[in-house]
């Protein structure tokens, strides 16, 4: 699931680029984004390789030095402008990484940042992530309304992530039957064994009447 060596090489190259272009806000944003995302890598998988959602990760395993460096980079870059996609994605990652626990996550700020990012990048993945953030602020039905609009977008409507997010929001909204169907579609679309395992576990949990999982 995670190629630490490739991630570290990408960060090394980004540092080299940043050293050559220290005044480029988007270069700083790119390096910050890499650091903030890679900082969580030790907590993303269990010893058997299975996926651990962010809401269930042991945040004590997150690399605080990388997080502090990433936050400092994006904090310095944003006022310089112009604001670009890498800076906004880094800002979103920083909000996640700053939260001591899932409940402390500032989802309102994340939703607002995704709203700005959507104006720069109409990618369906950005729209999907925006829908998740909106659901955490305004409830699952509000997020589902945005997700359903993406159902007509051929760039994402067959993607595992679309069906998985839809399943998650349907579950939170109380429609377990539809949630199972969405998770099944996501499992069929998954190309990675660990992703398939995780989605199959969600289906099994729902069939067994297990508790609702609240993390995105």
CATH number of 106-216: 1.25.40.10
- Per-residue confidence band for 188, with pLDDT thresholds at 50, 70 and 90: very high
User: For position 211, what pLDDT does the model report?
Assistant: 66
- Per-residue confidence band for 54, with pLDDT thresholds at 50, 70 and 90: very high
Q: Tell me the per-residue pLDDT of 5-38, one tens digit each, with 9 for 90 and over.
A: 999 999 999 999 999 999 999 999 999 999 999 9
User: For position 66, what pLDDT does the model report?
Assistant: 98
What is the rounded distance in angstroms from the CA atom of residue 63 to the CA atom of residue 44? 12
For the chain, the domains span 1-100, 106-216
How far is CA 92 from its chain centroid? 9
Please, what is the Cα angle at 137 between 131 and 141, to 5 degrees? Answer: 60
Q: Tell me the per-residue pLDDT of 58-112, one tens digit each, with 9 for 90 and over.
A: 999 999 999 999 999 999 999 987 899 999 999 999 999 999 999 999 999 999 9
Q: Taking a C-beta distance cutoff of 8 angstroms, is the pair 115, 130 a contact?
A: yes
Percent of all residues in the chain with a pLDDT value above 70, rounded to a whole number: 96
Q: Which of 141, 129, 139 is nearest to 96 (CA)?
A: 129
Q: Which of 114, 153, 90, 130 is nearest to 216 (CA)?
A: 130
């Amino acid at each position: 699931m995670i190629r630490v060596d490739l991630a570290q090489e990408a960060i090394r190259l980004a540092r080299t680029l940043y050293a050559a272009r220290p005044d480029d806000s988007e270069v700083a944003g790119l390096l910050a984004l890499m650091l903030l995302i890679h900082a969580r890598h030790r907590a993303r998988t269990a010893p058997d390789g299975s996926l651990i959602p962010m809401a269930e990760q042991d945040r004590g395993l997150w690399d605080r030095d990388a997080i502090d460096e990433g936050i400092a980079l994006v904090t310095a870059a944003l006022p310089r402008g112009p604001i670009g996609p890498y800076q906004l994605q880094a800002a979103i990652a920083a909000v996640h990484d700053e939260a001591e626990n899932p409940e402390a996550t500032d989802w309102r700020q994340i939703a607002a940042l995704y709203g700005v990012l959507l104006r720069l990048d109409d990618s369906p993945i950005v729209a999907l992530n925006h829908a998740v953030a909106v659901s955490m602020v305004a409830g699952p039905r509000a997020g589902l309304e945005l997700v359903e609009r993406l159902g007509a977008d051929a760039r994402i409507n067959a993607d595992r992530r679309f069906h998985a997010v839809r399943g998650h929001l349907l579950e939170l909204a109380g429609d377990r039957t539809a949630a199972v169907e969405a998770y099944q579609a996501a499992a069929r679309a998954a190309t990675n064994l660990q992703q398939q395992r995780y989605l199959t576990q969600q289906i099994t949990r729902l069939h067994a009447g297990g508790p609702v999982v609240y993390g995105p």
